[in-house]
Structure 1
Amino acid sequence: MHTSNTLRRTALALVTTAALALAPTALADTGHHGPDWRGAWAASPQSPTAPFGANWSQQGFDNHTVRQVVRVTTGGTRARIELTNRYGTSPLRITGATVARTAEGGAVRPGSVRHLRFDGRPSVTIPAGGTLLSDSAHLPVDAFGSLTVTLYLADETGPATFHHFSSATSYRATGDHRADLTGTAFEETSASWYFLSGVEVTGGRDTARRSGVVTFGDSITDGVGSTQDTDHRYPDELAERLAEAGRPRAVLNHGIAGNQVVNDTTWAGEKALTRFRQDVLTEPGVRTVVILEGINDIGGSTVDFPAAATPDVPVDRLIAGHRTLIREAHAKGLKVIGATLTPVKGSSYDSPANEAKRDAFNTWVRTSGAYDAIVDFDRAVADPTDPDRILPAYDSGDGLHPNDAGYTAMAEALDLDEL
């Protein structure tokens, strides 16, 4: 399967590169989330925390260069980045930033480094709670190509707004290495993203098309259980499947591991009912959102890892939360696809009461007609001989999260016509 995916991605890259060579000149920058810009990559911000081990969010940075690698799912002729200080308690000074095409590890490709500017200036201060976009850079971007975003943070940042589970490697060096071609100076690594919450593109074949897809949810959307640095999350696999079918479009991942629909937590982000407006409804070029969330509302009240158990959520309250998300998406003109919750038998969430809740919620998704369409992720990854359990070939090992093959099965379960 891995060999097949590698060949498939190589073919996709060649087709996209050829298309970009024939693409028209990019249109002018039309400002924040203007009609010609569309999301190409995204990550939902979280407040600083470290429930699953050490990262750099709580101590922040001081005279550090942070280099982060992301894979976009749509191409264009110009690019810009979104930086966020949403959960910062003081202004964040970005001394300088670059974007480049990724080479190996922490290295970037010669000739591709672009120094970013912010309203014409090389540095910028983001107020506490703020988010901003860089000016656009002339850097043709291929769909399924990797970009390296490098931030130089000369001043002490304080605790950092970040995204905990990146399933990708980020790099840190002491001092200013924003324009380095090699990764030699970047001796520290992390599996999180910091301050970076989006990449947008304009130009190319898909200019001004409102066809993007947002996948919204918890760790199973986030890609927990997939192989590091391989882009095997189900949203990545969905984007590849769309391209193979001749229907290329951006797929943006707004999952947060551990997230809940109706409960805030200190370690898994604000509840979906709050963050949906900031994470999903502000994305440019989006037409459809796929919502897979609720298993942590069900299971979180019965376990005390990685933090104290969260308040119990009855099924009717979980359903009411989903109805609110549907109404808000419809008010923005988005199509909403609802997903059934995947099996938990054999996991830390396994109990008769939790299984009864999961079954009741899934029945509502399948039969209520509340969503514009549904995707049955439950049946896509369940063991046919034991439907409450994830198929062993799809299990990452904890009975809850799929592995690479499981995420591929999820992507294949979506009806492309519904997107």
Structure 2
Amino acid sequence: MARPTCAIDDTSGCLNNTATSTFTTTTSPADADGSGNSLNATDLTGTAGWQSGKTVTIDGATITLPEFGTGAYDNMLASGQTVTLPDSGVVNTGAAVVFLAFATGAPVTNATGTITYAKNNCLDPNGVPSDQSYDLSAVPDWLSGPSSAASITLVHENHSDDTQTSPSSGPKVYAISVPLTCPGSVISSVSLPQLTNGVQAGRPALHILGLGVRPTTATGSGSSARHWVGTWASVQDTGKVQSSDGSTAAVDSQTLRIPAHVSIGTDSGSGVRVHLSNAMGATPVTFDAASVALQDTTAAGATAAAAPATLTFDGSPSVTIPAGGDATSDPVTLTVEQQATVLVSLQVRGMAPAMPGHSVARTPVWVSDHADRTSDTDATHYTQTTYTGLPYLSGIDVTTSTSNPAGSLVLYGDQSVNGGTASADGRHHLSDAITDALADDPHGDASVRYGVLNAGADSNSLLPQITSSTSPFGVLNPLDRDVLTQGNVRTVLVSTGATDLLNCTGNAYTCATEVEDGLASLDIRLSGYSTDDSQLSINQQPVTQNSDITVYLATIAPFTAAHPGTATQEAAREEVNTYLLDNYPGQIIDFAAAVSTDGNATSSTVKAADLSDGNPSAAYYADLAGRYVDDIDAGALIYPPN
């Protein structure tokens, strides 16, 4: 019997289950788990802003949603359906396929499918077509799965007995990305895993609301061809940016002006685009106007050097981003030098009682009166806020050479990368220190040759689940959103595990092993992604050359007086560092040795010169950056970056 087939922008022919319902005094027919339970459609369409039958952009991929709450089928129970990608009208080439999905009954296993490339695409070096398998077994259960990885967490669960509850964990929908082994090749179809075409209580099932392809950072063709690279980034780790007094920051029809200290500058094309995110938001947000400008180097603050360039989104001056979503601006022309400060201005429509963003940004943010001030050059109508976090702005890309494009280095981690004790001027994070060290490197040419992006977060959920799958394994957030969506990632420096150790209450061996296994899984997961530049042409046909992302692992620096560890946690830290040094030669950046009193990875204290009131100082981050550059210069690493 032939499996159902449908198009990626109209999946109606593949839908076979009703998982959403409306609730008033009765519940419309729906059954997501075999027990008559379902998602509340109003939470999706009203509260979160996921409009029925429309598109939503999640983790860079535009996905067409089904109709919710009508009583008709509204999701694909994975049972071997084939989703085709038309030749036009949809994104059919990219870096990853992103699925909006959730499991019921329990997490699924053996959820493997196939991505089929179009004729004469994704050839191996012998010219043989090379389709790829993938695995969605990482998709969590809608109720018991982690909230930290969810794209959206709903408030209500509807039941077939005409009742409605609000589970403490909340029903969740996840975005999971599958890396393409041939980024940039045309995809003809995606075959879903063949699991089950019906739901039964207690039996695992995989529900897919939709899927889309995340584009590569190469856009256009011919004279309009551009290649983009990330120059600045900030990850969302809170749904409520706070002020210094602990209150939730809010705006009402005001304009935010946010500074971003970039790394690499624009090429001769002088192109800039901006990424906005509502990933941690619970409701939609609309920006009525947006702009970008260089900061005046003399006046500094919220003063622009010249009239800001107006940003548009698909040609419109305004953009609405639903909960869990993101948006990328159209390109504008703006010459940006390396290490410059860019000002991004956003006018928020109406009242925003809470703003998602980066919780500990150490960056000033200005806010205007109740008006659109995005086009203002001077700072007359702006006042510096007391925000401790940075709302909405998630990234800035610049154009790079199309013939020899630059890549980016992403710093992924917790305490050291996040820089919660850095100077509060937005210019002294680890990413800034590495950028400065590259520019000042006596072995270099004073240029910053690649983007340096900060993906640090205050979180102890950065280590992924362990897997032994041989298929490209789907990647959940925050890893996908914070790292793999960044502009032209070629290298990832992982510096995490300290927070996990400080939260571990087991013995030293158990605590160390959990972190070691997590770091090993991160290495496997990240290195399974190909870079945007991983193809070459043979006889004018795209051929994969398996140019995978390079992964560096940092040893864990000693705990500080501000974040002290127990003797057991310190023993675990030393065990982790020994494991890294023994098992990953050529991939290690020895951050611990760079800042420790004794200059080695197992020293238990940070040298006094790198501390201020028990916290890491600017000298601490400079020493970490210096160690990175020294290791690169000395050829101590197997793979050179970018």
> TM-score w.r.t. structure 2 length?
0.54
CA contact (8 A) 1:218 1:259 kept: yes
Q: Once the 2 structures are TM-superposed, how far is the Cα of residue 150 of structure 1 from its aligned partner?
A: 0.3
Aligned to 1:293: 496
Aligned to 1:380: 594
1:208-255 residue CA offsets vs partner (Å, 9 max, x unmatched): 524311111113112222222162222212122223423621110000
Which secondary structure does the structure 2 equivalent of 1:41 belong to?
Answer: strand
Q: How does 1:126-137 map to 2 (within 5 A)?
A: 126-137=321-332
Aligned to 1:107: 303
CA contact (8 A) 1:95 1:153 kept: yes
Instruction: Mark the CA change 1:135 to 1:230 in structure 2 (over 3 Å): closer, same or farther.
Output: closer
1:340 to 534, 555, 564: 555
Distance in 2, matches of 1:313 and 1:277, equals 27
Say if 2:583 is the partner of 1:368: yes
Instruction: Mark the CA change 1:52 to 1:96 in structure 2 (over 3 Å): closer, same or farther.
Output: closer
Aligned to 1:249: 450
Q: Greater helix percent: which structure?
A: 1
CA contact (8 A) 1:242 1:249 kept: no
Which secondary structure does the structure 2 equivalent of 1:319 belong to?
Answer: helix
Tell me which amino acid in the other structure corresponds to 1:237. A
Aligned to 1:79: 272
Distance in 2, matches of 1:128 and 1:254, equals 21
Distance in 1, matches of 2:557 and 2:379, equals 40
Q: How does 1:146-161 map to 2 (within 5 A)?
A: 146-161=341-356
1:53-91 residue CA offsets vs partner (Å, 9 max, x unmatched): 4467x4532211110000111111110100011122222
Which secondary structure does the structure 1 equivalent of 2:568 belong to?
Answer: helix
Distance in 2, matches of 1:165 and 1:206, equals 36
Which secondary structure does the structure 2 equivalent of 1:215 belong to?
Answer: strand
Which secondary structure does the structure 1 equivalent of 2:517 belong to?
Answer: helix
Distance in 2, matches of 1:51 and 1:167, equals 12
Instruction: Mark the CA change 1:250 to 1:280 in structure 2 (over 3 Å): closer, same or farther.
Output: same
Distance in 2, matches of 1:392 and 1:273, equals 39
Over alpha carbons, which structure has the higher Rg? 2
Tell me which amino acid in the other structure corresponds to 1:128. A
1:116 to 298, 311, 327: 311
Say if 2:610 is the partner of 1:394: yes
Aligned to 2:259: 69
Q: Count the aligned residue pairs.
A: 369
Say if 2:165 is the partner of 1:165: no
Please provide the CA RMSD for this pair. Answer: 2.7
In terms of mean alpha carbon deviation, does 47-56 or 82-91 score higher?
47-56
1:353-406 residue CA offsets vs partner (Å, 9 max, x unmatched): 11111011111111112x7510111111011299311100001322xx421111
Instruction: Mark the CA change 1:88 to 1:233 in structure 2 (over 3 Å): closer, same or farther.
Output: closer
Which secondary structure does the structure 1 equivalent of 2:251 belong to?
Answer: coil
Distance in 1, matches of 2:256 and 2:376, equals 12
Which secondary structure does the structure 2 equivalent of 1:280 belong to?
Answer: helix
2:487 to 284, 298, 303: 284
CA contact (8 A) 2:464 2:522 kept: no
CA contact (8 A) 1:67 1:171 kept: yes
Aligned to 1:231: 427
Q: Once the 2 structures are TM-superposed, how far is the Cα of residue 345 of structure 1 from its aligned partner?
A: 5.2
Tell me which amino acid in the other structure corresponds to 2:436. E
Distance in 2, matches of 1:366 and 1:199, equals 34
Which secondary structure does the structure 2 equivalent of 1:187 belong to?
Answer: strand
CA contact (8 A) 1:340 1:365 kept: yes
1:146-179 residue CA offsets vs partner (Å, 9 max, x unmatched): 1000000122234221112222101112222111
Distance in 1, matches of 2:216 and 2:246, equals 31
> TM-score w.r.t. structure 1 length?
0.81
In terms of mean alpha carbon deviation, does 68-77 or 208-217 score higher?
208-217
CA contact (8 A) 1:215 1:255 kept: yes
CA contact (8 A) 1:294 1:341 kept: yes
Distance in 2, matches of 1:140 and 1:53, equals 35
Tell me which amino acid in the other structure corresponds to 1:355. E
1:171-201 residue CA offsets vs partner (Å, 9 max, x unmatched): 1122221112222222241242111000011
Aligned to 2:237: 46
Aligned to 2:285: 92
Aligned to 2:415: 219
CA contact (8 A) 1:345 1:388 kept: no
CA contact (8 A) 2:254 2:347 kept: yes
Which secondary structure does the structure 2 equivalent of 1:361 belong to?
Answer: helix
Which secondary structure does the structure 2 equivalent of 1:314 belong to?
Answer: helix
CA contact (8 A) 2:238 2:359 kept: no
Which secondary structure does the structure 1 equivalent of 2:454 belong to?
Answer: strand
- Structure with higher RCO (Cα < 8 A, 6+ apart): 1
In terms of mean alpha carbon deviation, does 274-283 or 46-55 score higher?
46-55
Which secondary structure does the structure 2 equivalent of 1:387 belong to?
Answer: coil
Distance in 2, matches of 1:66 and 1:367, equals 48
Aligned to 2:535: none
Q: Once the 2 structures are TM-superposed, how far is the Cα of residue 107 of structure 1 from its aligned partner?
A: 1.1
Instruction: Mark the CA change 1:152 to 1:51 in structure 2 (over 3 Å): closer, same or farther.
Output: closer
Aligned to 2:520: 323
CA contact (8 A) 1:339 1:376 kept: yes
Q: Among the aligned pairs, what percent are the same residue?
A: 26
CA contact (8 A) 2:241 2:391 kept: no
Distance in 2, matches of 1:172 and 1:226, equals 22
Q: How does 1:175-186 map to 2 (within 5 A)?
A: 175=370, 176-186=372-382
Distance in 2, matches of 1:313 and 1:224, equals 28
Which structure 1 residue ranges, 5 or more long, are not aligned? 1-29, 265-271, 303-311
Distance in 1, matches of 2:581 and 2:217, equals 36
Distance in 2, matches of 1:409 and 1:59, equals 34
1:296-341 residue CA offsets vs partner (Å, 9 max, x unmatched): 1111246xxxxxxxxx972212111112211111111211111011
Tell me which amino acid in the other structure corresponds to 1:74. I
CA contact (8 A) 1:215 1:235 kept: yes
1:99-132 residue CA offsets vs partner (Å, 9 max, x unmatched): 0111211111124x10111100110111111111
Tell me which amino acid in the other structure corresponds to 2:320. T
Aligned to 2:511: 314
Instruction: Mark the CA change 1:313 to 1:52 in structure 2 (over 3 Å): closer, same or farther.
Output: farther
Q: Once the 2 structures are TM-superposed, how far is the Cα of residue 33 of structure 1 from its aligned partner?
A: 4.3
